[in-house]
Amino acid sequence: MLDNLFSHLPACAENDERFDTLLERPGLKIERIVSTGQCSPPAFWYDQCTAEWIVVLQGEAVLRLEGEPQSRTLRVGDFLEIPARARHRVEATSIEAPTVWLAIHY
């Protein structure tokens, strides 16, 4: 069981991102995401039926929202609300240390 957002972090890069559900209720899901250099596959866009609020707790990530002229670099403490059906992708995550995200889906 995960009891601290920074526990059980990988010591080196892994093949896949880690998704840990911290709390789930009807219409709400809170998860910790740990990225170690992963990004979205070429031409892949997330298109979720729920809104998502994300914050970077450690590391760094580069996100692209469809229709925006530039990617957004998120660093520690940066947060973003992604509306439902807003197509978006992860263009990069830190490789030096894990990127730890908190994601709230609603």
Domain ranges of the chain: 18-105
Q: Note the pLDDT tens digit of each residue in 40-92.
A: 999 999 999 999 999 999 999 999 999 999 999 999 999 999 999 999 999 99
- 70 to each of 5, 10, 34, 62, how far by Cα in Å? 30, 30, 24, 10
Of residues 18, 102, 11, 7, the one with CA closest to residue 57:
102
**Is residue 86 a contact partner of residue 65, using CB atoms and an 8 Å limit?**
yes
Domain 18-105 fold: Jelly Rolls (2.60.120)
Rounded distance between C-alpha atoms, residue 56 and residue 24, angstroms: 20
Q: Note the pLDDT tens digit of each residue in 5-25.
A: 999 998 888 889 999 999 999
pTM: 0.91
pLDDT at 2 over 80: no
Q: What was the pLDDT predicted at 1?
A: 67
